[in-house]
Structure 1
Amino acid sequence: MKRVLLSLCLALGILPALAADEPAAPRDMVVLTVSGMIGKTNRGPLDPRKDSLLALQKVDFREAFAFDRAMLLGLPQGTVKAQPPEFDAPATFKGPLLRELLGYLETAKVKIIFMAVDGYTGWLDPDDIDTSDWILALEADGVPLGLGQQGPIWLINTRAPDFKPADTHQGHWVWALFYIKVGE
């Protein structure tokens, strides 16, 4: 009996540690879904009825990671001061560093595709991500970015005012971002 009780206590002590390894599910509205070549997932396959916007954009996956705003705020944050054409003055943008988000998800070092709610897509290569300060901006000057205001997420980094992205840098400054695919 003592042996059974001891085994039960040990098992109960180990279970919380094992559960801590499982990625958390979002507790609030999902603002970003990441699929593709990722090592961590917290949701199952695309459901065309529930995930109608993703389905409309012809997205499909068996597993993915869904983030709510609080989960994104829990990742290491970065700031970028910039004046995009949509703004009258420079602003300080804040959000999780893209490379930290990708590291958290244990992604492969491959091309990353970004999709906005209107279906616009862009991409970045691994070198672009590793050598720059890309952030998934959630706010500008402390104010959350909403839909209709380049939000809920804006892929942004510092660039010179006269910089024009080359065809190889199609991912620059995708706004109203809601989906990322790791790999092609």
Structure 2
Amino acid sequence: MLIGVGLSVATARSENMSLTAPAGEVRLTVTGNIRKTNSEAAALLDDAMLEALPRHTLETSTVVTDGVKRFDGFLMRDLLEFVGADGKTVTANALNDYTIDIPMEDFVRYDVLVATHMDGERLQPSDKGPFWIVYPRDEYSDLQDIRYDYRWVWQLIQLKIK
């Protein structure tokens, strides 16, 4: 299913806006070409800010788990709109120093989830948490290509918009 919602909604607004300061622990940092910040050139996001994004559920298999899993979280495109992202690439960084560039088009074409929970359990840094980028791989045969498997970033802590 091709999603008609683009990231151009965020780019239609030209003014820079500030986000409120995080009240809790910073769980995700977004930098790069964004218009909404709460720190010098960054959006520092805590759980309350991220939980305010619309919630979604995705059931899919993965290459690193057995069977179909239920993932809960928010859509990457909602997060990118929230911070006013404008770019062609998102560089995702993980706690384990894994880094990969993901085309922004992925988040327009597919309902890519930033998972906070798997099978009802909060993702922990000791496993795949605090966040895991999850693609709806069972819905689209093209997402079963190994190139997409590399984009499933677990232990996600930072995004840079280019």
Q: Does the TM-score normalized on the shorter chain lie above 0.5? A: yes
Alignment match, 1:39: 35
Out of 145, 164, 172, the position equivalent to 2:145 is 164
Output the amino acid matched with 2:145. Answer: K
Is residue 92–residue 100 contact of structure 2 (8 Å, CA) maintained in 1? yes
- C-alpha displacement of 1:22: 4.0
> Would you say how many aligned residue pairs link Structure 1 and Structure 2?
143
- C-alpha displacement of 1:114: 0.2
- Per residue, is there more helix in 1 or in 2? 1
Instruction: Give TM-score, length-normalised by structure 2.
Output: 0.80
Out of 99, 124, 129, the position equivalent to 2:102 is 124
User: Is 1:174 matched with 2:153?
Assistant: yes
Is residue 139–residue 145 contact of structure 1 (8 Å, CA) maintained in 2? yes
User: Is 1:144 matched with 2:122?
Assistant: yes
Greater radius of gyration (CA):
1
Is residue 114–residue 171 contact of structure 1 (8 Å, CA) maintained in 2? no
Is residue 72–residue 115 contact of structure 2 (8 Å, CA) maintained in 1? yes
Is residue 123–residue 170 contact of structure 1 (8 Å, CA) maintained in 2? no
Q: C-alpha distance in 2, partners of 1:88/1:129?
A: 25
**Distance change >3 Å, CA 114–CA 68, structure 1 → 2:** same
Q: Which structure's relative contact order is higher, taking Cα pairs within 8 Å and 6+ residues apart? A: 2
- C-alpha displacement of 1:164: 2.7
Between 114-123 and 77-86, report the one with greater CA deviation. 77-86
Q: C-alpha distance in 1, partners of 2:146/2:106?
A: 12
User: Is 1:105 matched with 2:83?
Assistant: yes
- What are the superposed Cα offsets for residues 7-47 of structure 1, whole Å, 9 maximum, x if unpaired? xxxxxxxxxxxxxx741111111110000000000112xxx
Structure 2: give runs of 5+ residues left out of the alignment.
1-16
Structure 1: give runs of 5+ residues left out of the alignment.
1-20, 45-62
RMSD of aligned C-alpha atoms?
1.9
Structure 1 residue runs of 4 or more that deviate by more than 3 Å after TM superposition: none
User: Is 1:27 matched with 2:23?
Assistant: yes
- Per residue, is there more strand in 1 or in 2? 2
Is residue 63–residue 149 contact of structure 2 (8 Å, CA) maintained in 1? no
Is residue 88–residue 105 contact of structure 2 (8 Å, CA) maintained in 1? no
Percent of aligned pairs sharing the same letter: 31
Between 122-131 and 85-94, report the one with greater CA deviation. 85-94
Output the amino acid matched with 1:179. Answer: Q
* SS of the residue 2:37 aligns to: coil
Output the amino acid matched with 2:67. Answer: A
- C-alpha displacement of 1:170: 7.1
